[in-house]
Structure 1
């Protein structure tokens, strides 16, 4: 059994398979997921698992070079937005890029995988761009 925090086999394999600038999306329960992108569905029920706890576990295993978030998150879910930024800063100092929600949804087509949580807070979505550790 793995010793680190991430136990989900599909998600662990996805992160281990990432190359530089590959993208992984973590989303709420309602974000549409393109059929051609791998879906890693963690959603169990409303709020389980939560968006932020999923972000923490992913960032404990993944080196990132960039973050993409919908602009709407700042306005509609400001507490979640601030908590997300605080978590990201805990792991790495990277630039956050803001796009419209429509542009965000279009960008998910480029993700290697989309991780669906049980989060029901509006705009609880983030795209992490993979970095390299050397």
Structure 2
């Protein structure tokens, strides 16, 4: 046991976060995301957990890349759907609180998101049931 590490972060996830270098990306995938078929490097199971609580815990340790325009990427709503995911507001709140930065999130269509996920260092498969909850984080450097 270590002090100060939230129990939602498994030893395997902490190891992955520590292994990642500047510019590496991690996907926090919702329950509908094809995580197993897209994870080319590392797949971490975090079933039964939601992305907002996991994101809040990760951001305590994980610096976002401030050298790129969009260190956070979301899967955009399919064209023609009249739907605004409320979970995105939660993400923005956590990021501003933990990183003390204001940023513009990038929105990419589903298939572009899938291709980017294949290149990610790791995919974390969660039990998140909210629609369009998938998020990619690009790791930065400690300052």
Scaled by the length of structure 2, the TM-score of the pair is 0.83
Between Structure 1 and Structure 2, how many residues are aligned?
130
Check whether the contact 1:76–1:122 (CA below 8 A) recurs between aligned residues. no
| 1:105 corresponds to | 114
Q: Which structure: greater helix fraction?
A: 1
Distance 2:84 2:114 in 1: 17
Question: Which consecutive residues of structure 2, in runs of 5 or more, have no partner in the other structure?
Answer: 66-70
Unmatched 5+ stretches in structure 1: none
**TM-score calculated relative to the size of structure 1:** 0.88
Q: Which residue of 2 aligns with 1:117?
A: 126
Aligned mate of 1:70, from 75, 83, 89: 75
Moved over 4 A (4+): none
SS of residue in 1 equivalent to 2:21: coil
Query: 2:87 pairs with 80, 84, 103, which one?
Result: 80
Q: Aligned partners of 1:84 and 1:77: how far apart in 2?
A: 13
